[in-house]
């Protein structure tokens, strides 16, 4: 059984953290835009957020595939931390999408008054 190099794990972990963090930041920016009624901007920011999240997820998937092929991944607190970032950003994206939808419905109702 081969072992994934520690430097590879560290690099992958940092990539997951960086892309997840950007995904989370963009999702919050999208929410702020929606709160101001800028739904086109919110939509664009969410697309960017999803692209960043996909990059983080791809890196995670690469690690999972390597492990499934028998490449042992050594325990790394940094890797665990990166997984926390990824999961948090995914939850933030989901919640921001729902809140943006609520702001949109609220605006539509206000327009109809």
Least Cα distance to 63 among 82, 89, 49 occurs for: 82
Residue 85, number of CB atoms within 10 A of its CB: 19
Question: What is the C-alpha separation between 110 and 103, in angstroms, rounded?
Answer: 10
Residues marked active site are found at 81
């Amino acid at each position: 059984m081969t072992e994934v190099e520690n430097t590879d794990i560290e690099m992958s972990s940092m990539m997951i953290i960086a892309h997840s963090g950007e995904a989370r930041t963009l999702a919050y920016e999208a929410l702020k835009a929606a709160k101001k009624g800028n739904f086109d901007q919110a939509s664009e920011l969410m697309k960017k957020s999803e692209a960043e999240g996909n990059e983080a997820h791809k890196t995670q998937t690469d690690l999972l595939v390597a492990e499934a092929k028998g490449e042992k991944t050594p325990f790394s607190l940094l890797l665990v931390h990166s997984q926390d970032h990824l999961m948090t950003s995914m939850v933030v994206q989901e919640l921001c999408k729902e809140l943006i939808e609520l702001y949109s419905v609220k605006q539509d109702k206000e327009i109809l008054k």
